[in-house]
Structure formats: C-alpha cells, structure tokens
Amino acid sequence: MRIPPKLLQLKELQAVKPPRVSFEFFPPKSIEAEEKLWQAVKKLEALQPDFVSVTYGAGGSTRERTHATVKRILDETTLKPAAHLTCVNASRDEIDAVAKTYWDIGVKHIVALRGDAPDMKDGGAYVPHPDGYAYAADLVRGLREVADFEISVAAYPEMHPQAQSMEADLRHLKEKIDAGATRAISQYFFDADDYFRFIEQTKKLGITVPIIAGILPIANFAQAQKFSAMCGATIPKWIIDLFESLPDDPAVVEMASVAVTTEICNKLIAGGVDDIHFYTLNRAELTQAVCALIGVK
C-alpha cells in the first residue's frame, strides 16, 4: 500500500492564506433526506462559504425540488445560493421564465449546464430540445439577456466523457466563457497535477476567468468509483489500494477520506489555488474536517 505524500505541516498551513470555499448540495427526495440536508447546510453555513450550489437532476427531474431548496437556503440562512439550470427537456421560454423567477426572488448566481437526458446513463444520446437552448454556451448567452447574473459553467480537467478530444472540450469551455460565463467550476479530480495541467491548457487558449477546483471527499468508495467511471475522473492507484486495504469500519474510512482529501487540497493551496468547491453529497462532517485542516474555520 502506498502512503499518501506528506501533508503540509501545521506551521506551513498557518503561513498560507486559507482558500475561499464553496459547497454543492443536491435536493432531497424524502423527509429523512431533507433533514440530513438541512443539518449539513446549517453546519457548513458556519464556514461562511463564498456560495453554495444546488444541483438539477437529469432531464430536469428535480426541477421543483431544486427551486424549493434554493428558496429555503435564501430565506432561512445567510448563504448565497447558486441554482443549477440545464438545457434539457425545456424550451427557451420555460428556462428564461425560471431564470427570471430566480432573479426576482434574489438568486443572482446560476450554474449553467447542458445537462443529461434521463436515458443517457443507459447509453442514450443527448438530443437538444427543439425549442430550447442546444448547449451550455447557448444557455449562457440566453441568461445574459434575462438578467445580469453571475454565471458559472462546468470544466473538465480530464475531459468530458462525451467529448471527441481534449482539444474539442477546451474549445467548448472557451465558447462558454466567451458567451459570458463569470467562472468555471471543475469536475472533481483526485490528482492535483491534473488540475494544474488543465489550467495551463486553458491559459494557452486565453481563458482568464477563475476555474474553481472541484473536490469530492470520499464518503463511500464503491459509490465514488461508480461516479468517477461515469464522469471520467481517474482515481489514482494509490488511493484505490488504500481504500481497498481498509477494514469495513465507517470511522476508519472517514479518517482515510479526510487524510486523502486534505492532501489534495494542500497540494492545490501550495500551488496557488485560491478557491475550492466541495461536492458534499449532503454530508457535512468530511468537508468540515478537511476545511479545518486547511485553515477554513
């Protein structure tokens, strides 16, 4: 089993400015899941994140729950919510109406995504809505006409799984930025060097907006492997070996996850990264622990 690289020492951490953080949540499907989400929201609110985002299910399947979650965050917390919005299964007029409603209630930040149709996980192809926005760049342009939103878009350090090539994927990112996106948020990764290489590639294309590093604390390794296979994120062999060697004890798995995630974040911070976006999976504890270790309190 490979031991993770040395973490930054405490005195080194104290000398480094902590990064800004943001968190992603997903809308709950049940009363129990809702209680779990709001426990996580309230715990992570104390860390004063730059913003929090709320996801949108495939095909707009969580549309109403996403809206309700965003509204409650806006009404009941001090957090600044960013609402995910996708192109699938909706006309331009419908999407514009949703965006206008968000603006009117005080949501000024949209995460603009192409999105996936419900059958894409079974091998189906993405087909644009005949009266909708075809791709994320089109959605960004449309949102710019609705209101002066902050607009975040997705970026893929290891390439979108449906992209024809890394070069093509980078061009798509450039199109989204040129259409008016404020920033990009990266798909999660487990090797900081993949992120740094990606940033160098974007700079060569003239992309100058911030690209926030996306990080997934591993709460369930089997689930992380499944997600990663779907989204094209590579899990390094040393992480696979580490988690496969652990006993079937949730407390031990959590300690390993915090150590691994903190190591990735420390390497990002040492390389000059100022913003980290945590995919929380509606769990607060792992993200809280990592944030404490990187100086976000």
With a CB cutoff of 8 Å and minimum separation 6, the contacts of 253 are 218, 219, 220, 221, 243, 246
Cβ atoms < 10 Å from Cβ of 166: 15
By CB atoms closer than 10 A (0-12, 13-18, 19+), residue 212 is buried
The residue type of 91 is: S
Tokens of 227: 């997600």
Residue 34's alpha-carbon distances to 22, 41, 107, in angstroms, are 20, 10, 21
Q: Is 158 a catalytic residue?
A: no
Secondary structure letter of residue 120 according to DSSP: G
Among the options 12, 24, 35, 94, which is catalytic?
24
With a CB cutoff of 8 Å and minimum separation 6, the contacts of 128 are 87, 134, 135
Q: What angle do CA 179, 185, 188 make, to 5 degrees?
A: 140
**Interior/surface letters 236-253, b for 16+ CB within 10 angstroms, e for the rest:** bebbeebbeeeeeeeeeb
Catalytic residue ranges: 24
